[in-house]
Amino acid sequence: MKNVAVAGAQWGDEGKGKVVDILAEKFDYVIRYQGGHNAGHSVVFGGKRYALHVLPSGIFHADTVNIVGNGVVVDPFALLKEIEGMESKGISVTPERLKISDRAHIILPYHGIIDRWRESGSGKRQIGTTGRGIGPAYEWKASRRGVRFCDAYDMGHFRQRVEYEYTAIREIYGDMDELAEWPLSRVLEESCAAVARLMPHVIDSVYELAEARAQGKRMLFEGAQATLLDVDFGTYPYVTSSNSCLLGITAGAGVPPGAIQRSIGICKAYTTRVGKGPFPTELHDDTGTKLRDAGHEYGTTTGRPRRCGWLDLVALKYVQHLNDFSTLAIMKLDVMDSLAEVKLCVGYRLDGEEITRFPAALDALDRVEPIYKTFPGWQTPLHEVRRYDALPTEAKNYLAAVERFIGCPVGLVSVGPDREQTIFRHADLFN
């Protein structure tokens, strides 16, 4: 039995949704283990594009059970909207196909309000969050003030918990305009109604997954965000509030470390970042614009333009130390088709000295200058390539340089958004 984990190797939006969707049919379970509806995972097949936020990307496969793990923070309004959107497109999201851990924390309206209020201030405190209440929901969880789905097994108890938290919040944040639109009566009425509609999906996922493991069922763990947005290992404080690298799986899904046999690091052939924070290889020139245009680099969740730059191997090597991915999936190689030359960052210069480590301190990261190795571009459309051997030599040389530097095979190459536009190089890694 091989359970597989998929996680982002950069700053998000690498194409995790596409890879999970492709692999999901071989798995009994697809499990999200962290994040919330700050995520936007796109899946394209049959000429249609689907955007997933909290629903795991296994939802398109009739026989796959999708689990929203205990480590996810769930906005009941957003999830209901997402379910309705899927149902309207003919994708059924029954309680048999979507299960939510009863230990998952609930994002309540005041979390989003606090998140947006903080971001609306000026100056250095802005992170560029998605404004979805993710950070405050994790804060409430860590400060032991969170409300979980299991609290709603008894709706009277749930109401009491929400009322208590709301009252405390009003005392501290009473002057926030948006809060005035959410008096206690509205928070209670709407939240209770939304949570009640989700309760048929709520289970104790610890037992479900323990039984599934005992029966040899296969699990695919789907990460949201990415390693460089991880609250411990990312470019803090410009990060999300969960452990979004592989290290978050055991705590966020409720499985022991031995439950994961293989892992796939999802990485674009270049780099993007949305929101604020350091980005050593960011391009502010025509090439950056070309990458943004060719890659349609606008956020799935917020529509914000993504910042674009060259692939940073110093950052990727750091990411590999943390995750020890069995294989890399290099996505969006086709986006670089028209470039005459392509670059890989193979080192940094910090205060005149060459370094190969990704610094923890933000001011150092802000100051580093990338050292590049330049490669000739392939200047051939890759959309229709389906075999690794058929890639142009220039593209293969570029990928080989990534493999050598990182010490991890490139087992999958993606040359377009569609399921079909995928090259499996080491098929055995995906069985």
**269-298 positions binding ligand GDP, by CB under 6 A:** 295-296
CA dihedral 353, 357, 359, 365 (to 10 degrees): 60
Distance between CA atoms of residues 26 and 220, nearest Å: 9
State the nearest-atom distance from the C-beta of 180 to ligand GDP, in Å.
34
CA distance 3 to 430: 10
- Asked if 13 is part of the footprint of ligand GDP (rule: CB under 6 A), the reply reads yes
Catalytic residue check, 284: no
Q: Which is nearer to Mg ion, 33 or 140 (CB)?
A: 33
By CB under 6 A, is residue 425 in contact with ligand GDP?
A: no
Candidates 9, 37, 40, 413: give the one binding ligand IMO (CB under 6 A). Answer: 40
- Please report, as residue ranges, which positions from 130 to 169 form the binding site for ligand IMO (by CB under 6 A): 130, 132, 134-135
Closest distance of CB 123 from ligand IMO, Å: 16
Site for ligand GDP in 355-374 (CB under 6 A): none
Quick one: what does residue 225 bind among ligand GDP, ligand IMO, Mg ion, none, with the CB cut-off 5 to 8 Å set by partner type?
A: ligand IMO
Task: Verify binding: residue 13, Mg ion, rule CB under 5 A.
Answer: yes
> Closest distance between ligand IMO and the C-beta of residue 341, in Å?
27
Based on the shown chain and the rule CB under 6 A, indicate whether residue 112 belongs to the binding site for ligand IMO.
Answer: no
Minimum CB separation of residue 307 from ligand GDP in Å reads 14
**What is the x/- site pattern for ligand IMO, positions 296-325, by CB under 6 A?**
----x-------------------------
CA angle 229/65/72 to nearest 5° reads: 30
Active-site residue (options: 13, 151, 230, 312): 13
- Touching Mg ion, residues 35-54 (CB under 5 A): 40
Q: Which of 37, 41, 105, 111 is catalytic?
A: 41
Give Cβ neighbours of residue 70 (< 8 Å, ≥ 6 apart): 101, 103, 104, 205, 206, 252, 253, 254
Active site residue 363: no
Q: Does 297 bind Mg ion (CB under 5 A)?
A: no
Using the minimum distance from each CB to ligand GDP, give the nearer residue, 101 or 272. 272
Of 3, 34, 38, 250, the one binding ligand IMO (CB under 6 A) is 38
> 13 or 165, CB closer to Mg ion?
13
Residue 217 has a CB neighbour count (10 Å cut-off) of 16
Q: Which residue number, 212 or 295, has a Cβ lying nearer to ligand IMO? A: 295
Among 17, 136, 234, 278, binds ligand GDP (CB under 6 A): 17
Q: Could you say whether residue 300 binds Mg ion (CB under 5 A)? A: yes
Q: Out of 36, 40, 275, 288, which residue is the one contacting ligand GDP (CB under 6 A)?
A: 40
Choice between 223 and 288, CB closer to Mg ion = 223
Which residues are catalytically annotated? 13, 41
Q: Which residues bind to ligand IMO, rule: CB under 6 A?
A: 8, 12-13, 38-41, 127-130, 132, 134-135, 224-226, 229, 240-241, 274-275, 300
Q: Which residues bind to ligand GDP, rule: CB under 6 A?
A: 8, 12-18, 40-42, 44, 295-296, 300, 331-332, 334-335, 414-417
Q: Which residues bind to Mg ion, rule: CB under 5 A?
A: 13, 40, 300
